[in-house]
Amino acid sequence: MSTDKQPVLAMILKGYPRISETFISNEIRLLEQRGVKIHIISMRRPRETFTHKSISEIKAAVSYLPSTLEGCLEELFGSTELDAGLKVPRYGKDAEFTSRIDKIWEVYRETGSEASFKHMLQAEYIVEKILPGSDIFHFHAHFAHSPCSVARDAGRLSGLPFSFTAHAKDIYTQKPEKVTAKISEAKFAVTCTGYNCEYLQSIAPEGKPIHKVYHGIDLALFSSDKDHTSSAPYEIFTVARFTAKKGLPTVFKALKTLDEKGIDFSYKIVGDGDEREQTLALLDKLGIAHKCTWLGTRTHEEVLELYRKADLFAIGCEIAENGDRDGIPNVLAESMAMSVPVVATTVSGIPELIENGRTGLLVEPRDHESMAEAMEKMLTDQEFRKSVIPAAKQRVHEIFDNKYWINKLADVYELYGIKAG
């Protein structure tokens, strides 16, 4: 690494940019404002056809890895044969190259896993195609599953250190021993809730700290002084991916109960996902589809306008059968900052943000009857709304300002030698 250039932090991501991961793009943008130079390494190209405006403020170079095993082999060795790396002229003659290829094959022989083999090849792509001349000196992965595997493997092949931020699904859908091994090998680990932090500390090697850093939200962007009162027909709103952990059936069944009580409302939901069709079909089955509108994926600006019109934000987060769960969905903090009261569940880190009865209402997951009662109270009890909405807004400002937390994250980085230029 040349001494006259600023060291570069490589941020390894599953995909970039992603509409649903604004907390990552915000982190990168704010770290750059702090003077940290970043190179984004994405494991796949964007799937959405548009991005949030904040992406345009990011200056980081972006490199995309081959996303398939065949693509890795072809890009690196000019052949899709599994043993292609052993056949290139450099193998056996270039000691560093030979050592790396032997490490890659050692992993494949030990695990028999094509996914692990692909991650090692993606790491080799980083070492071969991205590192030279880049001034990268540290890898940081967002998510403890495949991005962390690539960061770890790139560290093994290059000798550079790595670290990672763990979020939700990536923690709880892996075997604990796999997460423990990554914590052990990483220079440090970060996570986004106290709930996660407590769990990771319970499986971490003794003396290995886990740093809690909330995502936070942009309080300048999410700001509203809308009227705290509401009247029928009420506007109920959800932003969520169509996946089991979001508990959308609980919300839909609660809406059905409100309808049966004669409460006049309309419901809008923003988001998409693999389970969209089967989830939305429940609205037809419940007989409330005529009151509900699916709006697909929307930009920040469009979502802000929906917040301004909403009387209530509802989400039914739960622990999915595979262990997947949320941390603290940023949409809850966004709603609270936008003066939209929230009904949610007691899952994971949500109670760290929402104090039941003071800054929102929480019910047990999958309890649609309790959710309906909470939704009705939040919509119709005007005195309660007048106390909850300002308290919720104050709560977000106190503990969820992303500028505060990005400074905390930068402080964590500096503890381990990752400093601004």
Secondary structure class of 212 (helix, strand, coil): strand
pLDDT at 5 over 80: no
Beta-ladder partners of 10: 39, 139
Q: At what angle do helices 114-125 and 146-158 cross, to 10 degrees?
A: 50
| pLDDT at residue 26, as a whole number | 86
Nearest-Å Rg of the Cα atoms of the chain is 23
Sheet holding 292-294, edge to edge: 292-294, 265-270, 234-239, 312-314, 342-345, 361-363
Q: Mean pLDDT, the chain, as a whole number?
A: 94
| pLDDT at residue 2, as a whole number | 44
Q: How far apart are the first and last CA of the chain?
A: 15
C-beta of residue 395 within 8 angstroms of C-beta of residue 353: yes
- Contact residues for 184 (Cβ-Cβ < 8 A; gap 6+): 204, 205, 208
| pLDDT at residue 52, as a whole number | 66
| pLDDT at residue 363, as a whole number | 98
- Measured CA to CA, the distance from residue 324 to residue 173 in angstroms comes to 6
- At the second CATH level, the architecture of 234-399 is 3-Layer(aba) Sandwich (3.40)
Sheet holding 136-142, edge to edge: 61-64, 37-42, 8-13, 136-142, 162-166, 189-191, 210-212
Residues 199-217 have a mean pLDDT of 94
pLDDT at 173 over 60: yes
- Domain parsing of the chain, residue ranges: 8-216+402-415, 234-399
Joined tokens for residue 246:
């979001």
- Contact residues for 281 (Cβ-Cβ < 8 A; gap 6+): none
pLDDT at 421 over 90: no
Strands (E), 48-156: 61-64, 136-142
> What does DSSP assign to residue 186?
S
- Measured CA to CA, the distance from residue 371 to residue 85 in angstroms comes to 57
- Measured CA to CA, the distance from residue 411 to residue 405 in angstroms comes to 10
- Measured CA to CA, the distance from residue 403 to residue 401 in angstroms comes to 6
Domains 8-216+402-415 and 234-399 share a fold: yes
Q: Residue 1: which pLDDT band, with cuts at 50, 70 and 90?
A: very low
pLDDT digits (tens, 9 = 90+) for 121-141: 999 999 999 999 999 999 999
Q: How many residues does the chain have?
A: 421
pLDDT digits (tens, 9 = 90+) for 235-277: 999 999 999 999 999 999 999 999 999 999 999 999 999 999 9
* Backbone φ/ψ region at 180: left (φ over 0), alpha (ψ -120 to 50), beta: alpha
Burial 49-71 (b: 16+ CB within 10 A, else e): eebbebbeebebeebebbeebeb
Beta-ladder partners of 62: 40
C-beta of residue 371 within 8 angstroms of C-beta of residue 343: yes
pLDDT at 185 over 80: yes
Q: Which of the following CATH numbers is that of domain 8-216+402-415: 3.40.50.1100, 3.40.50.300, 3.40.50.2000, 3.20.20.80? A: 3.40.50.2000
pLDDT digits (tens, 9 = 90+) for 41-90: 999 988 766 666 778 899 999 999 999 999 999 999 999 999 999 999 99
Q: Find the DSSP H helices in 137-243.
A: 146-158, 169-172, 176-185, 194-203
How large is the greatest C-alpha to C-alpha distance in the chain, in angstroms? Answer: 79
C-beta of residue 226 within 8 angstroms of C-beta of residue 232: no
Q: Residue 207: which pLDDT band, with cuts at 50, 70 and 90?
A: confident
pLDDT digits (tens, 9 = 90+) for 318-347: 999 999 999 999 999 999 999 999 999 999
